């Protein structure tokens, strides 16, 4: 989504793009600053930010709640005449498909990011994460700072699986270290992370990890 948006802005040719960005909270909105700046500078870009909850920390001028048909109609009243590109966790995209179907949208004009790596493509794309590290039967304790939960992470289990085992429902999508949806902060401990480009060095230096492709190398604590 960002590549296409940046390209549209860079080319300088007239364009008409409505960018809807839905996240749990404004703090979870990746590219928020860049998108706002692009929208200020490009008349063809209309930006709608949708926060799941009303943020307490700032005066919120965007939409609040879950993306719904009335919200979409308000943001882009002509959406049935537009081509739609959708990217997000699978349940989100399912919801969007259902909503558009109900609205009678021509689904031939609908495209979505796919993280379904079938047998045909397996092992064939650039940046494929390496296999899980050998951890020789070691089990580590994974604690979750916000929820206070603790689970044992058995050998070969990812941090994401451990979080699910703890009853948490962290966001995830590709589960291959590519999309960055499962990014979280490692509060303490060490992990081995074999990602496929879904995290930047700067973020790793800040203590962030991708839960779907990280394996504990010690007892760890996560922000979740
Ligand atoms: S779910 Fe895509 S990077 Fe983890």
pLDDT tier for residue 121 given thresholds of 50, 70 and 90: very low
- Could you report how far apart the first and last alpha carbons of the chain are, in Å? 27
Q: Separation of 199 CA from ligand 1 center, angstroms?
A: 9
Report the residue among 171, 196, 199, 213 best suited for mutation to probe ligand 1: largest number of ligand atoms under 8 A from its CB: 213
Tokens describing residue 199: 């995290």
Please tell me if the CB atom of residue 179 comes closer than 6 angstroms to any atom of ligand 1.
yes
Separation between Cα atoms, residue 41 and residue 72, nearest integer Å? 23
pLDDT confidence band for 136 (50 / 70 / 90): low
Considering only CA atoms, which of 160, 150, 155 is closest in space to residue 212?
A: 160
Dihedrals phi, psi of 46, to nearest 5 degrees: -105, 120
Q: Which atom of ligand 1 is nearest to the CA of 175?
A: 1
Question: What pLDDT is stored for residue 116 in this prediction?
Answer: 63
Alpha-carbon distances, residue 115 vs 118, 128, 173, 209 (angstroms): 9, 12, 7, 19
Percentage above 90 pLDDT, the chain: 71
Q: For ligand 1, say whether the CB of 157 is within 6 Å of any of its atoms.
A: no
**Which residues on neighbouring strands pair with residue 214, listed in sequence order?**
193
Q: Which residues contact 185 (CB under 8 A, 6 or more apart)?
A: 206, 207, 208, 209, 222, 223
122 — pLDDT class (breaks 50, 70, 90): very low
Question: For the chain, what is the radius of gyration of the CA atoms?
Answer: 19
Token pair 């500078």: residue = 41
pLDDT of res. 217 = 94
- At 55 the pLDDT is 79
Paired sense of beta strands 110-112 and 140-144, if any? unpaired
Ligand 1 atom with least separation from CA of 179? 2
Residue 214 Cβ contacting ligand 1 at under 6 Å: no
Does residue 131 belong to any structural domain of this protein?
A: no
Phi, psi angles (nearest 5°) of residue 28: -90, 0
Ligand 1 centroid – CA 55 distance (Å) = 25
Ligand 1 atom at minimum distance from 173 CA: 1
Asked whether residue 44 is domain-assigned, the answer is yes
Query: Count of domains in the chain?
Result: 2
Tell me if residue 88 falls in helix, strand or coil.
coil
Q: Is residue 39 part of a domain?
A: yes
Best of 30, 114, 125, 182 to mutate for ligand 1, by most ligand atoms within 8 A of CB?
A: 182
Which of 95, 112, 129 is at the close of a domain? 112
Asked whether the predicted pLDDT for residue 193 surpasses 90, the reply is: yes
Inside any domain, residue 134: no
Inside any domain, residue 193: yes
Residue 134's pLDDT band (boundaries 50, 70, 90)? low
Q: Please report the pLDDT score of residue 113 as a whole number.
A: 85
Residue spans of beta strands (DSSP E) within 40-113 = 45-51, 63-64, 84-86, 110-112
pLDDT 10s digits, 17-73? 999 999 998 988 989 999 999 999 999 999 999 999 887 877 888 999 999 999 999
Strand partners, 188: 221
- By residue range, what is the domain housing residue 55? 2-112
How far apart are alpha carbons 140 and 222 in whole angstroms? 13
Which atom of ligand 1 is found nearest the CA of 212?
4
Cα–Cα distance, 189 to 8 (Å, whole number) = 42
What integer best gives the mean pLDDT of the chain? 88
User: How many angstroms separate the alpha carbon of residue 95 from the centre of ligand 1?
Assistant: 19
Q: Is residue 192 part of a domain?
A: yes
Residues 150 and 83 in one domain: no
Indicate whether residue 180 lines ligand 1 (CB < 6 A). Answer: yes
């Amino acid at each position: 989504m960002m590549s296409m948006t940046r390209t549209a802005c860079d080319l300088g040719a007239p364009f008409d793009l409505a960018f809807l960005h839905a996240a749990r909270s404004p703090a979870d909105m990746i590219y928020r600053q860049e998108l706002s700046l692009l929208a200020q500078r490009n008349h063809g870009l209309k930006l709608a930010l949708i926060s799941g909850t009303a943020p307490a920390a700032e005066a919120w001028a965007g939409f609040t709640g879950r993306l719904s048909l009335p919200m979409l109609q308000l943001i882009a009243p002509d959406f049935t005449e537009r081509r739609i590109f959708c990217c997000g966790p699978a349940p989100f995209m399912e919801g969007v498909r259902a909503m558009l179907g109900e609205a009678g949208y021509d689904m031939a004009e609908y495209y979505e990011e796919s993280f379904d790596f079938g047998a045909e493509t397996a092992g064939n794309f650039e940046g494929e994460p390496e296999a899980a590290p050998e951890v020789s039967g070691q089990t580590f304790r994974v604690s979750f700072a916000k929820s206070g939960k603790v689970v044992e992470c058995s050998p070969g289990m990812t941090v994401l699986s451990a979080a699910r085992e703890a009853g948490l429902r962290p966001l995830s999508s590709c589960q291959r270290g590519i999309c960055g949806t499962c990014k979280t902060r490692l509060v303490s401990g060490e992990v081995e992370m074999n990602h496929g480009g879904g995290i930047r060095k700067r973020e790793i230096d800040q203590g962030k990890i991708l839960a779907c492709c990280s394996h504990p190398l010690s007892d760890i604590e996560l922000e979740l």
